[in-house]
């Protein structure tokens, strides 16, 4: 019935839901799958909830059944199975469940496993078949469990060559065995797979002996005395027979050995070697085979007969002639015959063709059968030769008796001590004669055959005495009516003919007279009805109604009780279905082993001596389905887990009578633990370990194992101390914190003698605090002497191995970095520069960094810090209030006192000095303020600390040059003017002089003259001036800093008096020549020196003033451009002599 649910949806109305069980599922999947693969079945069902948009929100759960038994743990829509052969007997079904509504069960499906022949069953099971040559084997039925069906063929291997065997379909037909047959092979072909099963034959046989005398087969031989004699006996057989060579009536053994050949050699034959020699072959299960030869050693050449055949009687005699060699001739009375009985023999001697050859003639009486046998002729006690007298053959009378399934053959007369018997069953005859010492022979289990033929011979006789016994048997069933009949040898004229039934007892069932039949005194019987008319007929026939098992047995007739067992009767076989079988076997078997179930049933047919000969066939069923090819009493199964769902039964069959079905049995496969399942499945990293941080918790994990019987589930934990019990309840590993020494958790499933372990390894991750060692000791601060060794060791334990980083200073400069637990950093000789704060840091992904800091201070002497920026050259003006600030970086630890520093320079100075420490403890700055009152303060200064020089600086002048002094001019010739001045202080940088002349209303540069040095007199001639005209001139000094003030104007009127000019020129030339000579002499001596000094000074000056040139260039660009223009366009040369100095300007 559908269920209705009404949901109230606030502000929207009502939603009505109709709930019903899901639709009937349908199982789908590829049902034709080869074994040892997986198959997936799908249980398809739909929710019938309405409306649809509500039902689609639900997920159905499923229940799977195998043979109507619920399968544990299978709740998904798919069922994955490992395909084995046994699955073909299973019926799978499923249901779908939605909330508490379960669907109808699906139709059952059966998997069709495809498989080839992994084994062949031959019925009946032969093993290695031991069979005698000439016997028949078969039929054998070959079956192979294949799906689809295999192609079955039979082959026979005969003398190492295979050929087709006589077979029909799967059946090897009954056939006689030959000794060359090695095996019969059943071959099952399935697709491209072939499987073979052999019936190995051990064909046993024992041939009659072959007796060779000097390599020739003979039954009788005569040889001359002293001739060599070699007796070879060959008996072929399997297994290898025992060959025995004996002689005489006493059967004296000469040699015996196991094998196929026996050789016996007499180097020189004597008359004493005359005898009967017997070679016999013996093998277990076979009658002894014999070959006899009579050997006569002739004392002279003559024919000699050693074997005689005779009848027996009062007047019967055997005449024997024995050749002998003797000289002189012996007397007849000295010869004597000895035999089975004492005999009185008449003996005569006749001479031969030579005097030493004679012939002994004797007549030996044979009065009765006791006289037959071996006789020895001796001369004065020495044996001369031997003869044998055998009885002539005679016919035997053979009769039969049937006793409990066996036939006893009896013969008369019994005049001999032994007989040879040969039996033929149906058409198969024994290969060898059987020697018996009795007058009867029993053939057992004759109901297996239609007829038995016996052939009896008297020993040493070739006369055959045969009799065939026909086996009459009639088969019927309980409740039927059957007619029995046989032919009596005669019907008694007087008296009665009795019909006997012999089974558990011998009883007369009715009697027949010429007048009628008597059924135990009654004329009629409800059980028997005699059918033959007239009553005196020898054809006996009657019917038996309402057959029971008690009616089975042997029926025969005659005039006395002895006739009940005589031959010629009929065996009534009453068939009944076999007893209800019982399936037995060890049902508790480990998987992957074989189990053998036995279907135990007994034939209930009668008589027992018939039923014991029957082999019941069996039918095996699994889950009510017949197992094809299984007809033996035993069922061999390969045990798998799925067998626990199967129910096995069997029936037994005798002909067309089938027993009731046995009670079902179920195999209890013992298995597991084969696989352990841990839920939830741990998520492992690439190294197959569970990554977890120290202190975090893991679990719970549930451990299950499919075992039968149930396994004992325990959890163990492995730490650095080994394994110990973990915190768990039943199969659940409880939630617990993780410690770093935990290596793995292991679930152990124990089922007695089988233990399975499954675990997961832990990757416990952690990061310890950093440990920092200085020269092997843990410190937070350290001071050490300069040049001392320094080893910094940083240890950070962690998993995974952390990255260790050593850095220094506020900038965190990395010194070294590596992966691992240790980092070592070595400074062979510590310097002040190594003074710093050092940080060791351990890092690992997912963890906070761990740091350790240490302050290292290196004790070092005060010295200049070359690594820092330092200005060693200064430019300055001079003045009473002018000072230069000098900054000197130094290295020192501990810090020095500022009062210990002192400056020394061109003049004694009192410099104010201050001290400051830099960003590290060993770096400091000395700041000094040096006065520059006038230009005498310019020069080199040295900074010392306690008398030790620290560094040096240079203070250079950097000022506007002084205006030249004594600027004058005069005209000394026509058109020329001489301008002179005295050079002043250049201000520090190199200076030059600019001369100006008034042209019109503007000043024009007329010359650019180099500075010869402070205090020097300088001359300049503008030249080419207009005579008589007055000119105004001015001058100023310039350097890269700036130019001085302009000098006062000097006015000069250019002369035009030629004489005056000439006089002046002459005087000037004389003076000039004098100056030139003086200067040349000085230059010769000092030229080279001044040249080298000039190069050095110019080079240093250029290097120091590169950065100042740009500023000077900017300020003087316009002025220099003007000057340079003037300088390059107007070249004025003037020379002035002042003392011994020549000043040349350009």
What confidence tens digit (pLDDT) does each residue in 12-26 have?
Answer: 566 666 678 888 999
Higher per-residue confidence, 1058 vs 247: 247
Higher per-residue confidence, 56 vs 930: 930
Question: Measured between alpha carbons, how far is 408 from 565 in angstroms, rounded to an integer?
Answer: 10
Question: Measured between alpha carbons, how far is 545 from 529 in angstroms, rounded to an integer?
Answer: 8
pLDDT of residue 1118: 35
Judge whether residue 1062 has pLDDT over 90. Answer: no
Q: Give mean pLDDT, residues 765-789.
A: 90
pLDDT of residue 1121: 33
Judge whether residue 3 has pLDDT over 70. Answer: no
Cβ atoms < 10 Å from Cβ of 419: 23
Spell out the residues 6+ positions from residue 715 whose beta carbon is closer than 8 angstroms to its own: 703, 725, 726, 727, 728, 731, 733, 745, 746, 747, 748
239: tokens are 């297994």
Segment holding 1075, helix H or strand E: helix 1058-1104
Q: Give mean pLDDT, residues 605-611.
A: 91
- Pick the range with the lowest mean pLDDT from 647-656, 807-816, 956-965, 1060-1069: 1060-1069
Judge whether residue 51 has pLDDT over 80. Answer: no
**The dihedral sign for the CA sequence 545, 547, 548, 549:** positive
pLDDT of residue 591: 87
Is the distance from CB of 138 to CB of 57 less than 8 angstroms?
A: no
Closest Cα partner for 516 from 534, 493, 543, 498? 534
| Cα-based distances in Å from 460 to 281, 372, 392, 937 | 17, 11, 9, 168
Judge whether residue 1069 has pLDDT over 50. Answer: no
379: tokens are 């001369």
pLDDT of residue 588: 92
Q: What is the rounded (10 degree) CA torsion for 539, 544, 545, 550?
A: -170
Question: Measured between alpha carbons, how far is 119 from 562 in angstroms, rounded to an integer?
Answer: 55
pLDDT of residue 793: 94
**The sheet that has 634-638: what strands, in order across it?**
582-584, 594-600, 634-638
pLDDT of residue 1093: 66
Judge whether residue 466 has pLDDT over 50. Answer: yes
Q: What is the rounded (10 degree) CA torsion for 624, 628, 631, 633?
A: -50
Question: In Å, how far from its chain's centre is CA 512?
Answer: 87
Is the distance from CB of 152 to CB of 171 less than 8 angstroms?
A: no
**If you average pLDDT over every residue of the chain, what do you get?**
83
Question: Measured between alpha carbons, how far is 310 from 321 in angstroms, rounded to an integer?
Answer: 16
pLDDT > 90: what percent of the chain?
A: 31
pLDDT of residue 815: 92
Closest Cα partner for 442 from 421, 412, 419? 421
- Confidence at 1120, pLDDT banded by 50, 70, 90: very low
Question: Measured between alpha carbons, how far is 857 from 920 in angstroms, rounded to an integer?
Answer: 10
Q: What is the rounded (10 degree) CA torsion for 306, 307, 312, 316?
A: -40
DSSP 545-565: -S--GGG-EEEEEESSGGGGT
Q: Give mean pLDDT, residues 341-351.
A: 86
Judge whether residue 304 has pLDDT over 80. Answer: no
Question: In Å, how far from its chain's centre is CA 704?
Answer: 26
pLDDT of residue 10: 41
Cβ atoms < 10 Å from Cβ of 799: 17
User: What phi, psi does 1125 have (nearest 5°)?
Assistant: -60, -45
811: tokens are 């900038």
User: What phi, psi does 852 have (nearest 5°)?
Assistant: -140, 130
Q: Give mean pLDDT, residues 697-703.
A: 92
HSE of 564, CA atoms in CB hemisphere, 13 A: 17
Closest Cα partner for 721 from 737, 741, 744, 693? 741
Question: Measured between alpha carbons, how far is 885 from 927 in angstroms, rounded to an integer?
Answer: 7
**In this predicted model, what pLDDT tens digit does every residue of 509-567 receive, in sequence order?**
999 988 889 998 788 888 999 999 988 888 999 999 999 999 999 999 988 888 878 88
Tokens 């306690």 locate to: 946
Is the distance from CB of 649 to CB of 663 less than 8 angstroms?
A: yes
pTM of the predicted structure, to 2 decimals: 0.49
DSSP 158-175: ETTEEEE-SEETTEEPPE
Judge whether residue 358 has pLDDT over 70. Answer: yes
pLDDT of residue 318: 87
Q: Give mean pLDDT, residues 230-234.
A: 91
Closest Cα partner for 793 from 803, 778, 781? 778
- Pick the range with the lowest mean pLDDT from 10-14, 259-263, 657-661, 702-706: 10-14
pLDDT of residue 1139: 34
How are beta strands 948-957 and 873-876 bridged, if at all? parallel
Question: Measured between alpha carbons, how far is 429 from 370 in angstroms, rounded to an integer?
Answer: 34
Spell out the residues 6+ positions from residue 681 whose beta carbon is closer than 8 angstroms to its own: none
- Confidence at 1067, pLDDT banded by 50, 70, 90: very low
pLDDT of residue 476: 92
Q: Give mean pLDDT, residues 396-423.
A: 86
**In this predicted model, what pLDDT tens digit does every residue of 184-216 receive, in sequence order?**
999 998 888 888 888 888 899 988 888 888 878
Judge whether residue 301 has pLDDT over 50. Answer: no
pLDDT of residue 1029: 82
HSE of 885, CA atoms in CB hemisphere, 13 A: 3
How are beta strands 237-238 and 216-217 bridged, if at all? unpaired
């Amino acid at each position: 019935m559908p269920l209705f649910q009404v949901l109230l949806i606030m502000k929207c109305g009502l939603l009505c839901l109709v709930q019903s069980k899901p639709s009937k599922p349908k199982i789908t999947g590829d049902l034709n799958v080869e074994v040892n693969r997986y198959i997936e079945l799908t249980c398809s069902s739909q929710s019938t909830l309405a409306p649809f948009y509500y039902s689609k929100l639900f997920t159905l759960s499923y229940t799977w059944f195998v043979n109507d038994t619920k399968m544990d743990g299978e709740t998904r829509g798919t069922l994955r199975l490992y395909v084995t052969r046994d699955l073909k007997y299973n019926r799978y079904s499923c249901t779908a469940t939605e909330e508490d509504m379960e669907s109808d069960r699906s139709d059952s499906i059966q998997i069709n496993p495809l498989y080839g022949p992994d084994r062949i069953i031959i019925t009946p099971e032969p093993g290695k078949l031991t069979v005698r040559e000439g016997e028949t084997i078969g039929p054998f039925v070959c079956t192979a469990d294949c799906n689809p069906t295999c192609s079955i063929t039979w082959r026979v291997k005969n003398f190492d060559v295979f050929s087709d065997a006589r077979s029909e379909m799967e059946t090897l037909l009954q056939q006689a065995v030959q000794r060359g047959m090695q095996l019969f092979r059943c071959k099952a072909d399935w697709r491209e797979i072939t499987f073979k099963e052999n019936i190995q034959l051990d064909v046993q046989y024992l041939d009659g002996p072959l007796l060779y005398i000097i390599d020739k087969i003979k039954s009788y031989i005569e040889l001359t005395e002293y001739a060599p004699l070699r007796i070879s006996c060959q008996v072929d057989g399997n297994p290898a027979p025992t060959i025995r060579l004996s002689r005489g009536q006493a059967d004296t053994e000469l040699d015996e050995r196991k094998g196929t050949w026996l050789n016996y050699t007499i180097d020189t034959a004597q008359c004493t070697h005359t005898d009967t020699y017997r070679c016999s072959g013996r093998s277990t299960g076979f009658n002894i085979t014999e070959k006899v030869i009579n050997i006569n050693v002739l004392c002279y050449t003559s024919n000699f007969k050693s074997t005689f055949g005779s009848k027996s009687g009062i007047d019967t005699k055997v005449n024997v002639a024995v050749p002998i060699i003797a000289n002189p001739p012996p007397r007849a009375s000295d010869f004597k015959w000895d035999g089975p009985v004492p005999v009185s023999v008449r003996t005569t001697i006749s001479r031969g063709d030579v005097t030493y050859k004679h012939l002994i003639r004797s007549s030996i009486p044979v009065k009765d059968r006791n006289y037959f046998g071996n006789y020895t002729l001796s001369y004065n006690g020495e044996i001369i030769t031997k003869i044998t007298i055998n009885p002539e053959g005679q016919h035997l009378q053979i009769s039969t008796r049937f006793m409990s399934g066996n036939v006893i053959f009896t013969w008369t007369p019994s005049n001999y001590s032994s007989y040879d018997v040969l039996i033929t069953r149906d058409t198969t005859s024994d290969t060898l004669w059987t020697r018996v010492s009795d007058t009867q022979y029993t053939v057992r289990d004759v109901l297996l055959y239609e007829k038995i033929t016996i052939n009896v011979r008297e020993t040493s006789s070739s006369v055959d005495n045969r009799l065939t016994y026909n086996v009459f048997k009639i088969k019927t069933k309980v409740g039927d009516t059957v007619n029995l009949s046989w032919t009596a040898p005669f019907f008694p004229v007087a008296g009665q003919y009795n019909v006997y039934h012999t089974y558990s007892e011998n009883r007369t069932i009715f009697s027949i007279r010429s007048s009628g039949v008597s059924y135990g005194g009654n004329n009629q019987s409800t059980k028997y009805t005699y059918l033959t008319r007239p009553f005196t007929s020898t054809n006996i026939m009657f019917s038996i109604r309402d057959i029971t098992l008690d009616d089975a047995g042997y029926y025969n007739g005659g005039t006395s009780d002895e006739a009940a067992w005589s031959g010629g009767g009929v065996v009534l076989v009453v068939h009944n279905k076999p007893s209800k079988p019982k399936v037995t076997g060890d049902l508790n078997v480990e998987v992957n082993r074989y189990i053998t179930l036995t279907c135990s049933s007994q034939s209930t047919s009668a008589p027992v001596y018939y039923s014991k000969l029957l082999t019941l066939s069996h039918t095996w069923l699994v889950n009510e389905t017949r197992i094809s090819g299984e007809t033996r009493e035993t069922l061999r199964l390969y045990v798998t887990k799925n067998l626990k769902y199967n129910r096995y039964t069997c029936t037994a069959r005798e002909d067309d009578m089938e027993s009731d079905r046995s009670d079902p049995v179920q195999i209890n496969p013992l298995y597991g633990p084969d696989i352990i399942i841990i839920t939830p499945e741990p998520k492992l990293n690439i190294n197959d370990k569970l990554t977890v941080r120290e202190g975090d918790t893991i679990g719970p994990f549930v451990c299950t194992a499919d075992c039968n019987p149930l396994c004992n589930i325990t959890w163990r934990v492995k730490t650095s101390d080994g394994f110990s019990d973990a915190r768990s309840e039943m199969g659940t590993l409880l939630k617990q914190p993780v410690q770093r020494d935990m290596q793995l958790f292991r679930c152990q499933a124990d089922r007695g003698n089988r233990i399975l372990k499954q675990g997961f390894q832990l990757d416990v991750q952690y990061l310890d605090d950093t440990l920092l060692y200085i020269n092997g000791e843990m410190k937070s601060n350290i001071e050490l002497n300069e040049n001392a060794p320094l080893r910094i060791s940083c240890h950070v334990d962690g998993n995974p191995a952390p990255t260790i980083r050593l850095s220094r200073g506020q900038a965190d400069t990395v010194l070294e970095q590596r992966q691992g637990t240790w980092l070592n950093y070595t400074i062979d000789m510590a310097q002040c520069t190594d003074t710093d704060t050092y940080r060791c840091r351990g890092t690992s992904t997912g963890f906070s960094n761990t740091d350790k800091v240490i302050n290292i201070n290196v004790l070092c002497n005060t010295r200049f810090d070359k690594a820092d920026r330092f200005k060693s050259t200064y430019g300055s003006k001079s003045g009473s209030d002018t000072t230069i600030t000098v900054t000197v970086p130094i290295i020192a630890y501990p810090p020095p006192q500022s009062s210990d520093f002192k400056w020394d320079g061109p003049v004694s100075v009192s410099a104010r000095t201050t001290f400051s420490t830099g960003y590290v403890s060993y770096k400091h700055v000395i700041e000094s303020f040096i006065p520059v009152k006038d230009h005498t303060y310019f020069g080199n200064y040295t900074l010392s600390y306690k008398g030790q020089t620290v560094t040096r600086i240079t203070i250079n002048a950097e000022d506007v040059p002084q205006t030249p002094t004594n600027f004058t001019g005069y005209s000394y010739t026509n058109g020329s003017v001489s301008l002179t001045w005295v050079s002043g202080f250049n201000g520090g940088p190199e200076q030059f002089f600019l001369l100006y002349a008034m042209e019109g209303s503007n000043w024009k540069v007329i010359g650019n003259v180099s500075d010869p040095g402070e205090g020097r007199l300088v001359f300049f001639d503008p030249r080419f001036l207009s005579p008589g005209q007055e000119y105004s001139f001015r001058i100023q000094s310039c350097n890269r800093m700036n130019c001085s003030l302009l000098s006062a104007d000097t006015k000069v009127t250019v002369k035009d008096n030629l004489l005056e000019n000439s006089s002046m020129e002459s005087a000037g030339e004389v003076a000039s020549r004098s100056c030139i000579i003086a200067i040349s002499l000085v230059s010769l001596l000092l030229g080279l020196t001044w040249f080298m000094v000039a190069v050095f000074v110019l080079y240093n000056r250029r290097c120091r003033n590169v950065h100042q040139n740009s500023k000077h260039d900017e300020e003087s660009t316009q002025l220099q451009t003007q000057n340079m223009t003037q300088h390059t366009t107007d070249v004025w040369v003037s020379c002035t002599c002042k003392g011994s100095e020549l000043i040349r300007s350009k």
